[in-house]
Amino acid sequence: MRFGACLLALAAMATGLTACGNSAAGSIVDKAKNDKKLVIGIKIDQPGWGLKKPDGGYAGMDVDVAKYVAKELGVPESGITFKEAQSANREPFIQQGQVDMVVATYSITDERKKKISFAGPYLVTGQDILVRADDTTITDVESLKDKKVCGAQGSSSPKRLADKFGTEWESKNLTQQQGYGACLPLLENKQVDAISTDATILAGFAAQFPGKFKLVGKPFSTEKYGVGIKMDDKSGRDAINTAIEKMFKDGTWRKSIDANLGEFGKFFSSPPSVERY
């Protein structure tokens, strides 16, 4: 119990510290206007969304959205510092002020809205299925019942299938690799028949190998990708939402989707409408 009390005390100290950091800085809009600088959290290992290139630059849809929003807020590309955000550390990054915003395949959920706030969504996706290009037997989630499926460890997508089909199916038909990139060789060599997770992630990986894989295109869940900023930064949210809407309207959004996802861009046909709150 004393150990627990220790942890609590530590946690209290940590939140106390971050609270100080937070109150010092105002809205992201003011910071962008005054400093002409922003620190943005992105993924650096997610093809099509946020990927570090060999030359040190970054490419992907999230990167494009981040640059566009920054530009609209008055920050030139040279004023952006990109920082790697992993799935598990995105909320703490924003709360502690280590980044000004996060654009990292970041799903808007009620749980997360208690800690940070979201602008967007700039994209709506769902769990989908990737199969070999010549496979015609898998048409929807039900046809996975007697197929071999690959998922990533620590991802919620394989769990959704395991809950649906039961533990015997899980043991016989589901393999969990260390990341979705590791599933591709298994799919190509017919060890598994399908990979299942967010359509966006599947499209990003598959776009690297044109003609080899195809998306089934029938999502069976809904994920909304948003831009994460500090809790209660209403003016920041509004400004980013306006920027995202402008990106939809002037065709930059479409161009960026097609550039990053290639033949799979067609699965993301129309931009969503942003949710202002």
7 binds other proteins (CB under 8 A): yes
**What's the distance, Cα to Cα, between the start and end of the chain in Å?**
41
276, 238 Cβ separation under 8 angstroms: yes
* Least CB distance to other proteins at residue 206 (A): 18
Nearer to other proteins, 62 or 170 (CB): 170
Of 178 and 273, nearer to other proteins (C-beta) is 178
Among the residue ranges 171-179, 223-231, 236-244, 258-266, the one whose residues contact other proteins (CB under 8 A): 171-179
Q: Report the Cα 2 to chain-centroid distance in Å.
A: 39
Number of residues this chain uses to bind other proteins (CB under 8 A): 21
The single residue among 107, 175, 208, 221 that binds other proteins, judged by CB under 8 A, is: 175
Among 57, 76, 185, 210, interactor with other proteins by CB under 8 A: 185
CA–CA separation, 29 and 182 (whole Å): 40
Least separation, in Å, of the C-beta of 147 and other proteins? 11
Q: Is 191 in the site for other proteins (CB under 8 A)?
A: yes
Q: Which segments of 109-223 does DSSP mark as H helices, in order?
A: 110-113, 156-165, 167-173, 183-188, 199-206
Q: Could you identify the residue written with the tokens 């894989």?
A: 213
Among 29, 51, 130, 192, binds other proteins (CB under 8 A): 192
- Rounded to whole angstroms, the Cα distance separating 93 from 102 reads 8
| Interaction of residue 171 with other proteins, rule CB under 8 A | yes
3-state secondary structure of 186: helix
Closest CA to 196 of 226, 222, 167, 220: 220
Is 37 a binder of other proteins (CB under 8 A)? no
Among 18, 155, 242, 252, binds other proteins (CB under 8 A): 155
Closest CA to 35 of 91, 62, 74: 74
Between CA 148 and CA 192 the distance in angstroms is 5
110 binds other proteins (CB under 8 A): no
Establish if 15 lies at the interface with other proteins (CB under 8 A). Answer: no
Q: What is the DSSP letter of 5?
A: H
Rounded distance, CA 151 to CA 159, Å?
A: 9
- 179 lines the binding site for other proteins (CB under 8 A): no
User: Considering the complex, what minimum distance in angstroms separates the CB of residue 152 from other proteins?
Assistant: 10
User: Which is closer to other proteins, CB of 186 or CB of 207?
Assistant: 186
Count of CB atoms within 10 A of residue 206's CB? 26
Q: How far is Cα 78 from Cα 53, in angstroms, rounded to an integer?
A: 17
By beta-carbon proximity to other proteins, the closer residue of 90 and 230 is 90
Nearer to other proteins, 139 or 153 (CB): 153
Interface contacts to other proteins, rule CB under 8 A: 7, 88, 148, 153-156, 159, 171-178, 185-186, 189, 191-192
